[in-house]
Amino acid sequence: MQEKCIPLHRLPIGCTGRVKELRAKDDTRRRMLDLGLISDTVVKALCQSPSGDPTAYQIRGAVIALRSEEAANIMVEIF
Amino acid sequence: MGGDNYDFVIALAGNPNTGKSTIFNRLTGLKQHTGNWPGKTVMNARGYFKHNEKSFLLVDLPGTYSLLANSPEEEVARDFLCFGNPVVTVVVVDATCLERNLNLVLQILEITKKVVVCVNLLDEAKRKRIKVDLNKLSRILGVPVVGTTARDGQGLTELKEVINKISEQSLCCNPVQITYAEPIEKALDILQPVVEKLFKKQISSRWVSLRLLENNKKIELALNTNFAGNLLENSALKKARLEVQNFFNQQKMTEEEVKDSIVTGLFNTAEQIGQEVLEVESEDYHQFDRKLDSILMSKKFGIPVMLALLGVVFWITIKGANYPSELLARGFFWLEGYLTALFLASGLPDWVNGIIVTGVYRTMTWVVSVMLPPMAIFFPLFTLLEDLGYLPRIAFNLDNFFKKACAHGKQALTMCMGFGCNAAGIIACRIIESPRERLIAIITNNFVPCNGRFPTLIALAMIFLVSSIAAPWQSLGAAVIILMVIVLSVVITLFVSRILSKTILRGLPSSFTLELPPYRKPQVGRVIISSIFDRTLFVLARAVMVAAPAGALIWLLANFTVNEVSILNYCAGFFDPFARLFGLDGHILLAFILGLPANEIVIPILIMSYLATGSIQEFDSLEALRDLFIQNGWTWLTAVCMMLLVLNHFPCGTTLFTIYKETQSCKWTVISFLVPTLMGLLLCFLVSQSVFLFSSLF
C-alpha cells in the first residue's frame, strides 16, 4: 500500500493519523515537539470549532486545539 | 505566614492544570486563586509551611509542559530550578495524563536529583478507571513518588514527610538517566567531562551539555549571568564544542535534528514508563469528556449553548439578587433614620450629619446593598464554570473570531477573567506570549464589564428597559439585556482588536496551542466559600473603602456654594452642554469622572448629586431610583447611553495602575485610558443623535 501523507488540518474529524514530519521552524517547532508531536506519534482529530477553525486533536492523552496554520505544518499518515 | 526565616527552600513544579496551585494552597494555607485552565500561575508565588518544627519556603513555579521552549514562564521555572538551589523539587503530575506529564519530570530529573513526584488527581484517575502503580513508578524514576488527591487533602501529610526526609538527607534519590540516540550519547561523551570539570558541582553537567549540544543561546546567556568567570569562553570547552560540531557534521546531523533527537529521547522514555506503570481498564476513559465536548463545542450547539449558559448565570444572578438587595437597602435606610436622629440629639452641627450620614453612610450602603448580592451569586456561579473546565472551551469556540481580528486565541480567557475584575484580567494577559497580542488584550480588556459594573447595568436595565414587562418576566428580560450587553462587549473587543492590529499594533496572529483540559467535577462547597470570602468580600471591601471618602467629597462638593451655586452644580453645569451631545447630562458625566477610583461608586455619586439639588426623599428601592432619575429628565435613551458608557469608558484606578505595572509604559496606559473612552463617547453620540434625528423626523 502506498504511504499517504497529508497535512494534519486535512485529517478528517474522527480519523487517526501518525506524525511523519514536522515542518514548523524554531519556537513553533519546539512548542509542537513539547506537545509530543514527534515522529510516529498518533494524533486523532476530535472536533472542529463552531466556525471551522481551530480543530481539537487528541495527542498523547491530552486534547489540544490547533489553528489550521499550525496544523498545516504537521504531516501525518492516515491509518 | 512565617516571615523570612526558613530552613529549606522547596520548589513546586508541574504541568499547567495539574492541581499545583491547590497543593500550594493546601500546604501553605494561602489562597491563591485556582481554576481549571492552563496558565493560572504566571509568576513565582511564595508561601511557608511547617513540618516537624522546621519551616519550609515553598515556591510555586509557573506551570509548564517543558523547560526547553523558551517561553517566559519556562524561563522563570527553569532559572529557579537551575540557579535558585531548591533543596527539594516537588513535581506535580496529573494521574489522568501521566505520560505527557512525565516529559517534564524527566527534564527536571536531568537538572536536579532531589525530586519528589507527586501524582495528583488520583480521584479523577479512579473515576476514569486509570490505575497508576506508584511503587513501580518510584522504582523506575529512582525518586520518591507520593499519590495525592489535593483538593480533599489526601496524601499531603505523606508529601510533607517525604519533603522533610529528603531535606534532611535521610532519603536518597538516584534518578534514572535517559538514554538518547547513539550520536547524542557519543557527543555527550565528548562534552560532558569538560563541562563537569568547568562547572564542578554547581549544576548538572549532563543537562548543561545537552543544552550546549542544542546551541541554546538563552541558556548560554543564563549560565554566563549566573556563574562568574565566563566559563563558556574556556578554551577546552570551546575545543570540545568544535569537536562535537565536527562529529555532527560527519553524521550529517543538522542542529534541528539534534534537537528533535533529544526531545524524541525524552518522549520515548516517557512513553515506555507510561506503559510500565499505567493500567487502563478501558481505552475510552475520556469518553464522557468527548461526549460533553461534542455538545459544548459542536458546530450547531457550541455558541448557542455558551450564550444560554451565560444567560442562565445572569438570570440566576438577577433573580436571586433582587430580594436580598431590597432587604439590605431597607435595613440600611431604617438604620439611617436612627443615625440621623442620633446626630440630631447629640447636638453636633448639621454638616457633620451631612458628611457622615448623607455622604459616607449612604454611598457605602448603596455599594453594599446593590453590589453584594449579585456579586455573591455571580462569582461562585462563574467560578463553577471555571472549575469545570469550561473557559478554555469558550476560547475554542470563539478562536476563529479572534484570529480574524489578528488577536491571540487566549484573549478569550483573559476576557473571562475580566468579568470578575479587569485588573485580574490584565494580569491574566501574561499567558499571551507575543507582546503585540498581549498589548491588544490589555487595551481591550476593559470592554468586558467587570463585577463592579454588572450591578449598575442590571439596575439600569431593570428600571428603564424592562419595567413595562409583567413582573415575573422582568428578571428574564434583564438577563437577556445583560446577555446582549456582553455580546456587544465581545463584538466591540474584536472590532477594536482588529483596528489596533491594523494601526498601532500591526502584525499577524502568532502561533499558539490551546489545551482543553479534562472536565473536573467542581468542588461546589469550596467554590462557594472561597469565591464569597476571597473574591466577593475582597472586591466589595475595596469598593467600600473607595466609596467612603468619595461619599464625603461629593457631599462637600454638593453643599459648598460659591455665589449660591454648589460646586457640584457648577461642575455639572459646566459639563452639561457637552454631555447633552451624547444623550447624557452633566451630572452623569461628572459621576463617571469622580467614579474613577472604582466603578461601583458611579451610581451612588450620581444619586447624591441629583439629591443634593432637589429635596431629600425616601430612597430604598429601584422604584425610588426610577422616580429620581425621571425627575431629572431621564428617558429610556438616557439609560441606554449610560449603559453604553458604563460598558465603554476609562478603566478604574486600580486597573489603570495594573496596566502601568504590566506594560511598564505610560504610553500604553494612556492609550488604554483613551481607547475605551473614545469608543464610549462615539457610541453614545451615534445612538443619541440618530434617535434625536428620527424623533425630529417623525
Residue B421 is given by DSSP the state -
Domain that includes residue B454, residue range = 303-507+522-697
List chain A residues with CB under 8 Å of B66: 34
Does the pLDDT value for residue A75 go beyond 70?
Answer: yes
List chain B residues with CB under 8 Å of A47: 293-294, 297-298
B123/B233 same-domain check: no
Chain B residue closest to A26 (CA)?
Answer: B256
B313/B433 same-domain check: yes
Q: Measuring CA to CA, which residue among B489, B446, B488, B493 is closest to residue B596?
A: B446
Give the mean pLDDT of chain B.
87
The domain boundary, picked from B116, B144, B167, lies at B167
B269/B374 same-domain check: no
- Rounded Cα gap, residues B487 and B307, in angstroms: 9
Chain B residue closest to A59 (CA)?
Answer: B100
Does the pLDDT value for residue B617 go beyond 70?
Answer: no
Question: Higher pLDDT residue, B110 or B421?
Answer: B110
The domain boundary, picked from B279, B313, B331, lies at B279
The shortest C-alpha distance from B263 to chain A (Å) reads: 7
Query: For the packed helices B602-611 and B622-631, what is the interaxial angle rounded to 10 degrees?
Result: 60
Q: Within a domain: residue B286?
A: no
∠ CA B208-B214-B215, rounded to 5°:
85
Q: Within a domain: residue B614?
A: yes
**Which residues touch B696 (CB under 8 Å, ≥6 apart)?**
none
B265/B136 same-domain check: no
The CATH number of the domain holding residue B123 is 3.40.50.300
Is A61–B99 a contact, with Cβ atoms under 8 angstroms apart? yes
For residue B670 the three cell numbers come to: 494612556
Q: What is the pLDDT of residue A2?
A: 47
Q: Which residue has the cell 422604584?
A: B623
The shortest C-alpha distance from B294 to chain A (Å) reads: 7
Q: What is the pLDDT of residue B454?
A: 86
Q: What is the pLDDT of residue A60?
A: 85
Confidence band, pLDDT 50/70/90 cuts, at residue B1: very low
For the residues A62-78, what does the mean pLDDT come to? 91
- Rounded Cα gap, residues B625 and B423, in angstroms: 30
Flag whether residue B302 sits within 8 Å of chain A, measured between CB atoms: yes
List chain A residues with CB under 8 Å of B71: 31
Q: Measuring CA to CA, which residue among B404, B403, B538, B430 is closest to residue B413?
A: B430
Q: Furthest-apart CA pair in chain B: how many Å?
A: 99
Is B65–A54 a contact, with Cβ atoms under 8 angstroms apart? no
Confidence band, pLDDT 50/70/90 cuts, at residue B199: confident
Q: Within a domain: residue B172?
A: no
Flag whether residue B559 sits within 8 Å of chain A, measured between CB atoms: no
- Residues B273-314 have pLDDT tens digits of 999 998 887 767 778 888 888 889 888 898 999 999 999 998
B140/B209 same-domain check: no
CA distances from B351 to B297, B358, B578 (A): 60, 10, 32
The shortest C-alpha distance from A79 to chain B (Å) reads: 18
For residue B143 the three cell numbers come to: 525518586
Question: What does residue B149 show for φ and ψ, rounded to 5 degrees?
Answer: -125, 90
Does the pLDDT value for residue B615 go beyond 60?
Answer: no
What is the DSSP code string of B177-206?
Answer: -----HHHHHHHHHHHHHHHHHHTTSS-HH
B546/B630 same-domain check: yes
List chain A residues with CB under 8 Å of B70: 27, 30
- Rounded Cα gap, residues B318 and B374, in angstroms: 7
For the residues B411-426, what does the mean pLDDT come to? 87
- Residues A7-31 have pLDDT tens digits of 999 999 999 999 998 888 877 888 8
- Which element (helix H / strand E) includes B176? none
Confidence band, pLDDT 50/70/90 cuts, at residue B40: very low
Q: What is the pLDDT of residue B16?
A: 81
- Residues B233-260 have pLDDT tens digits of 888 999 999 999 999 999 999 988 999 9
Structural domains of chain A sorted by starting position, each given as residue range(s) with its CATH number in brackets = 5-78 (2.30.30.90)
Could you tell me how many residues make up chain B? 698
For the residues B40-59, what does the mean pLDDT come to? 78
Is B267–A53 a contact, with Cβ atoms under 8 angstroms apart? no
List chain B residues with CB under 8 Å of A57: none
B392/B477 same-domain check: yes
B570/B664 same-domain check: yes
Query: For the packed helices B302-346 and B287-296, what is the interaxial angle rounded to 10 degrees?
Result: 80
**Which residues touch B616 (CB under 8 Å, ≥6 apart)?**
B358
Q: Which residue has the cell 460598558?
A: B647
Q: What is the pLDDT of residue A27?
A: 78
Confidence band, pLDDT 50/70/90 cuts, at residue B506: confident
Is A33–B260 a contact, with Cβ atoms under 8 angstroms apart? yes
User: Which residues does residue A42 pair with via DSSP β-bridges, in sequence order?
Assistant: A18
Give me the residues of B, 240-279, that contact A with CB < 8 A: 256, 259-260, 263-264, 267
- Rounded Cα gap, residues A51 and B345, in angstroms: 69
Count of helix runs (H) and strand runs (E) in chain B: 31, 11
Q: What is the pLDDT of residue B620?
A: 57
Q: Within a domain: residue B424?
A: yes
Q: What is the pLDDT of residue B32?
A: 59
Q: What is the pLDDT of residue B109?
A: 94
Q: What is the pLDDT of residue B4?
A: 60
Is B293–A54 a contact, with Cβ atoms under 8 angstroms apart? no
Specify the range with the lowest mean pLDDT, choosing from B30-34, B340-344, B651-655. B30-34
- Look up the ipTM and state it: 0.93
Q: Within a domain: residue B297?
A: no
List chain B residues with CB under 8 Å of A49: 297, 302, 396-397, 399-400
Specify the range with the lowest mean pLDDT, choosing from B46-55, B307-316, B465-474, B611-620. B611-620
Q: Within a domain: residue B429?
A: yes
Is-contact B452 B601, C-beta < 8 A?
A: no
Confidence band, pLDDT 50/70/90 cuts, at residue B677: very high
Chain B residue closest to A45 (CA)?
Answer: B290
B141/B191 same-domain check: no
Question: Higher pLDDT residue, B681 or B152?
Answer: B681
Q: What is the pLDDT of residue B364?
A: 85
List chain B residues with CB under 8 Å of A34: 65-66, 68-69, 103, 263
Q: Within a domain: residue B549?
A: yes
For the residues A27-50, what does the mean pLDDT come to? 88
Give me the residues of B, 37-76, that contact A with CB < 8 A: 65-66, 68-71
Confidence band, pLDDT 50/70/90 cuts, at residue A1: very low
- Percent of chain B residues topping a pLDDT of 90: 37
Q: What is the pLDDT of residue B34?
A: 56
Q: Number of structural domains, chain B? A: 3
Flag whether residue A68 sits within 8 Å of chain B, measured between CB atoms: no
- Rounded Cα gap, residues B501 and B443, in angstroms: 12
Chain A residue closest to B401 (CA)?
Answer: A51
For the residues B104-132, what does the mean pLDDT come to? 91
For the residues B536-560, what does the mean pLDDT come to? 82
B309/B445 same-domain check: yes
B633/B551 same-domain check: yes
Is A34–B401 a contact, with Cβ atoms under 8 angstroms apart? no
Confidence band, pLDDT 50/70/90 cuts, at residue B22: confident
- Rounded Cα gap, residues B592 and B650, in angstroms: 9
Does the pLDDT value for residue B338 go beyond 50?
Answer: yes
B548/B603 same-domain check: yes
- Residues B342-368 have pLDDT tens digits of 888 888 888 888 888 878 888 888 888
List chain A residues with CB under 8 Å of B263: 33-34, 38
Helices (H), B405-461: 411-420, 422-428, 435-444, 454-460
The CATH number of the domain holding residue B264 is 1.10.287
Query: For the packed helices B435-444 and B471-502, what is the interaxial angle rounded to 10 degrees?
Result: 150
Q: What is the pLDDT of residue B73?
A: 77
